[in-house]
Amino acid sequence: MPYLTSRRTFLVAASAVSAACAWAKSGSIRVGCQANGFPLKPGDFPGLLKVLESMKSLGYTGFECNYKLVEGEFGRVAAARGQIEKTGMTFIGAHAGMDIVGGAKGAGIAAGVAALGADCIIMSGKGLSAEGAFEKEALLQKAKELDKIGRMLKENRLRLAYHNHNPEFANHNAEMDGLAENTDPALVNFLMDAGHGYLGGGNPAAFLAVNSKRIYGIHLKTFRGKQVSGQVPLGQGDFDFQALAAAVKKTGWSGWLIDEEGGSPQGGNTAAVGPDREYIRKLFGV
């Protein structure tokens, strides 16, 4: 393995297992924040640590970030993990594309982020169809690939949390429902991006009502208009999350609610991260 010694991987893997078990037994909702709401460049680990302190001060308890922000620390995982833990923030997971996680670098990235204390890989893929109309064979092939990646991550003591964009929720949640029905629950969980779900014309609350036990976390974001570029702070968009909050209450779902304020080379709307936390507290009661 290119990044870590086998002994170090074993030790951190055991820690990751404990963290995963703790999530399964916690029975409570926790609130995290995606680091792409802040102006960070790939490899800026010192900057990330400062951002974690800011998140903590605003009332968040966990964070998610792109794997490129921590990849440079894979050669010094013990020290870097200690720095993360010193902030008091839980490392929810690292975000990467399906092509990356399923490619040649995937196992090394998995071992690296596990060593840094992450609980999962939040993996986004390409939707099968913008309109939600696709061939059954294509769906089954994607589901098979998700199971394969999920198995690899499980070997590294990480969860796979599949992150959707708009297409997976098009046509009445067609692709999301199909992936849930055709993947192994022991290998594939979901990081449901509710904002993209609504923007795609779907119903995230309905998906949660049926699949609550497989939803590791929920991204919260909202938009004006039909474009991703129209993202605005929570509570100011064309759709809100009352139905989702009701479904959370009804099912007793527990997991991570994660604020995600956009993301670009200049960062997202950092000023909205604090007000977003208040919105989450008022609507979801956490």
Domains of the chain, start order: 6-284 (3.20.20.150)
Query: Which tokens is 71 given?
Result: 């990849």
Alpha helices, DSSP H, located in the chain:
6-26, 45-57, 77-86, 98-101, 106-115, 136-155, 170-182, 194-199, 204-211, 242-251, 273-284
pLDDT score, position 262:
79
Scored b (16 or more CB within 10 A) or e, 115-136 reads: bbbbbbbbbbbebbbeebebee
pLDDT score, position 227:
87
* Residue in the structure block whose two tokens are 């490899």: 43
Residues 43, 271 contacting (CB under 8 angstroms): no
The mean pLDDT values, 10 residues at a time, for the chain of 286 residues are 35 38 61 96 97 98 98 98 98 98 98 98 97 97 98 98 98 98 98 97 98 98 91 95 98 98 76 97 97
Contacts of 76 (CB under 8 A, 6+ apart): none
pLDDT score, position 228:
87
